[in-house]
Amino acid sequence: MRIEVSRRQMPSQLFSYLSPVIALLLTVLLGAIVFMALGKDPVQAMYSYFIEPLTETWSLHELLIKATPLILIAVGLSVCYLSNNWNIGAEGQFLMGAVAGSAIPVLAPDFQSFITLPLMLVFAMAGGAAFAAIPAFLKSRFNTNEILTSLMLVYVAQLFVDWLVRGPWRNPQGFSFPGTVTFNDFALLPEMFPASGRANIGILFAVVAAVLVWLMITRTMKGFEVRVLGQNPRAGRFAGFSSAKMTFFAFLLSGALAGLAGIIEVAGAVQHLNEKLSVGYGFAAIIVVFLGRLNPLGAIVAGLVLALTYLGGEAAQISLQISDKSARVFQGMLLFLVLACDTLIHFRIRFVTARSVSSPKVENS
Amino acid sequence: MGMTEAILLTVFTAATPLLIAAMGELVAERSGVLNLGVEGMMIMGAIGGFAFAQMSGNPYVGALGGMVIGALFSLLFAFLAVTLVTNQVATGLALTILGLGLSGLWGEAFVGVPGVKLQPIVVPVLSEIPLIGRLLFAQDALFYVSIALVFAVSWFLFRTKGGLILRSVGDNHHSAHALGISVSRVRYLAVMFGGACAGLAGSHLSLVYTTQWIENMTAGRGWIALALVVFASWRPWRILFGAYLFGAITIMQLHIQALNLGDLEFLPGPVYGIMALLKSIPAQFLSSLPYLATIAVLVLISRNRRLTLINTPAMLGRGFVPDR
């Protein structure tokens, strides 16, 4: 038996909505099999992975905290990928944004004013954008592969943060643990419902960013430019669009949003800068982009789903004694299955046996 | 063994996994498939090699196991990218994310477990040649494999019919298909060869380089291997050169970090000054050197757009769907 794909004349509307859902269901099914192979009760495992975190108020708060950076980063990346700019280094831009934003409370701890926090957010966006400008510059000026350069810069950013929090920025009262001083109240994001959990207003930034970018892509000339240059660079050039400018636009936008995500994580959940800041949000956000079908609004839903895999991983670690690495496995499987299911949108898939090859088949499309 | 010899020996050890992984990716890319999953296949090879060596007590079984795991893991990519014609960039990333997760889950039981080392094979007489003897003829088996790979891949690609077919698929899959070549079969084989090489390269890390399992121990080497292919503009011999260049950069920063200034007081003043200056650079900055060097090298290579275009397989990264 062989598998044959043939191009559909029109993308399937049905599958463009169904494919992420099918992918998610298949991931859960496959996950259950993996847990069974590890000798755990699959039903109980899936319950504690995907349902239990949703049953308690405090964990819903945690869900929002984890979804915030994922959504913010993914919204920016969706513009990159739509315009055919492969920014893989959001993790680095997230970290450098966190560093730039943290500079204010770390270097000027006495600057306690209502503009401290807004200033930190602006610094973080500038920091993330500046770091993203490096691969954009190299791509547009020297034709350098942006996938590799943006990714290499992730390692550079990680080492840089490591040096900062162990060296010049280390909290002298930190009992020799790496990390900066805990931020003062003016440098922290306000919590939304302090009575029931720690979720902060960061999620509002994420939702607003998603809506704004969605409006930009679907309703404005700039969004049209993004899509044309992404789908057909030649046509874009004839229309007078500059792909070099688009590279900068996409990278700076996604860098700024990743930087914003970084400072929200620092000034929200963690409250100081340390070397373990990111748990791979920059890479998980790539999955969010594809699960959300490169749509900023889709990224909101997809971000919540991916956040659930993080929480589920922690829950499974406690209740089933399974390593929290299982979250990474789920994320990888999810991206695989999303990509596989997306094939259904543009292609018809046939299973061909030796018999059906010899018998002529009437194409009805 | 002299100091220079010892340093060069570590350069060779650092270069070998890069060379093997990049050689595999070169073959995959020559067939038109861009597999960004090298890092994921490599880390699966690292844990696979370690686990098989532990189970059998034999490091050669380990290396073979790492290779098989790498090849099998690459099948996932091949099925999506070749059969289902998914976006190759995203699929490769998925392979890396999945590989990092699976290896972490699998390796949990092996953290802190002492490994089995792949011992050097000493060639009698030849290994006694001063300086180069120990470097070239007293190495572990994977070093010999890596050098043999350069000869073999170079010969296969440019001197055999199979190589011609592979390159034709990478340069124009429509023509190749019209000539009756099975594009997907060629690409499956090329991707699996790349996976086997990445797996073997990974097992070098856990059986020779560190002889233990550490989570995320590939630390970006898979990505550097990918960059090496671009650096080499898809030529096998240039990969050899590039791998040793990067091996040297990796080792140089480690040696500077380990430098003991007290031992160097015999050096003339200016040399000692330079050493002291290098030593004063924070470790993290030195550690970022291989990554910065990768970027620098990519910039130098890519500047000449015309030259890069000539050498790049024309169908690189494009899925093939036969017309009917």
Best of A88, A325, A349, A363 to disrupt the B interface by mutation (most B CBs within 10 Å)?
Answer: A325
Q: What is the pLDDT of residue A34?
A: 86
CA distance A352 to A328: 35
pLDDT value at A142 more than 90: yes
One-letter amino acid for residue B55 of the chain: M
pLDDT value at A189 more than 70: yes
DSSP A178: S
Please, are residues B232 and B26 in contact by the beta-carbon 8 Å criterion? Answer: yes
- Give me the total of CB pairs closer than 8 Å, taking one residue from chain A and one from chain B: 141
Where is average pLDDT lowest: A16-20, A142-146, B192-196, B227-231?
Answer: A16-20
Q: How confident is the model at residue B1 (pLDDT cuts 50, 70, 90)?
A: low
Does the beta-carbon distance from B321 to A343 stay under 8 Å? no
Q: How confident is the model at residue B196 (pLDDT cuts 50, 70, 90)?
A: very high
- B114-136 burial string, b = 16+ CB within 10 Å, else e? ebbebebeeeeeebeeeeebbbb
Write out chain A residues lying below 8 Å of B285, CB-based.
Answer: 159, 163
pLDDT value at A1 more than 80: no
One-letter amino acid for residue B122 of the chain: V
pLDDT value at A360 more than 60: no
Please, are residues B105 and A325 in contact by the beta-carbon 8 Å criterion? Answer: yes
Does the beta-carbon distance from A336 to B91 stay under 8 Å? yes
- The CA angle B252-B253-B257, to the nearest 5 degrees, is 115
Using CB atoms, which residue from A5, A142, A339 is nearest to B94?
Answer: A339
ipTM here: 0.91
Write out chain B residues lying below 8 Å of A151, CB-based.
Answer: 220, 223
Task: Show the tokens assigned to B287.
Answer: 């550690």
Q: How confident is the model at residue A355 (pLDDT cuts 50, 70, 90)?
A: low
Where is average pLDDT lowest: A69-78, A196-205, B134-143, B173-182?
Answer: B134-143
Q: B223 CB near a chain A CB, below 8 Å?
A: yes
Best of A96, A154, A335 to disrupt the B interface by mutation (most B CBs within 10 Å)?
Answer: A335
Q: What is the pLDDT of residue A365?
A: 43
Mean per-residue pLDDT, A317-332: 86
Q: How confident is the model at residue B266 (pLDDT cuts 50, 70, 90)?
A: confident
Task: Show the tokens assigned to A154.
Answer: 């992730």
Q: What is the pLDDT of residue A361?
A: 47
Q: B220 CB near a chain A CB, below 8 Å?
A: yes
Where is average pLDDT lowest: A114-128, B121-135, B218-232?
Answer: B121-135
Q: Mapping DSSP to helix (H, G, I), strand (E, B) and coil, where does residue B224 land?
A: helix
Q: CB B265: neighbour CB atoms within 10 A?
A: 7
In Å, how far is A196's CA from the nearest CA of chain B?
Answer: 33
pLDDT value at A354 more than 70: no
Report yes or no on whether pTM surpasses 0.80: yes
Q: How confident is the model at residue B304 (pLDDT cuts 50, 70, 90)?
A: confident
Q: Chain centroid to CA B3: how far?
A: 26
Task: Show the tokens assigned to A360.
Answer: 């002529």
CA distance A55 to A36: 24
Task: Show the tokens assigned to A13.
Answer: 């509307």
Using CB atoms, which residue from B80, B99, B292 is nearest to A339?
Answer: B80
pLDDT value at A357 more than 60: no
Chain-wide mean pLDDT for chain A? 90
One-letter amino acid for residue B260 of the chain: N
Angle (deg, nearest 10), helices A90-107 and A243-264: 50
CA distance B11 to B118: 17
Write out chain B residues lying below 8 Å of A340, CB-based.
Answer: 80, 84, 86
**CA-atom Rg of chain A in angstroms:** 22
Does the beta-carbon distance from A335 to B90 stay under 8 Å? yes
Residues 6+ apart with CB under 8 A from A142: B299, B302, B303
The closest of B239, B238, B209, B211 to B225, measured between CA atoms, is B239
Using CB atoms, which residue from B97, B220, B283 is nearest to A332?
Answer: B97
Residues 21-60 of B with CB under 8 A from A: 36
Q: B108 CB near a chain A CB, below 8 Å?
A: yes
Write out chain B residues lying below 8 Å of A329, CB-based.
Answer: 98, 101-102, 105
pLDDT value at A229 more than 80: yes
CA distance A272 to A215: 34
Q: What is the pLDDT of residue B276?
A: 84
Residues 6+ apart with CB under 8 A from A63: A53, A54, A304, A307, A308, A311
Mean per-residue pLDDT, B49-77: 96
In Å, how far is B4's CA from the nearest CA of chain A?
Answer: 29
Does the beta-carbon distance from B94 to A335 stay under 8 Å? yes
CA distance B208 to A16: 48
To which residue do tokens 């490599």 refer?
Answer: B42
pLDDT value at B255 more than 50: yes
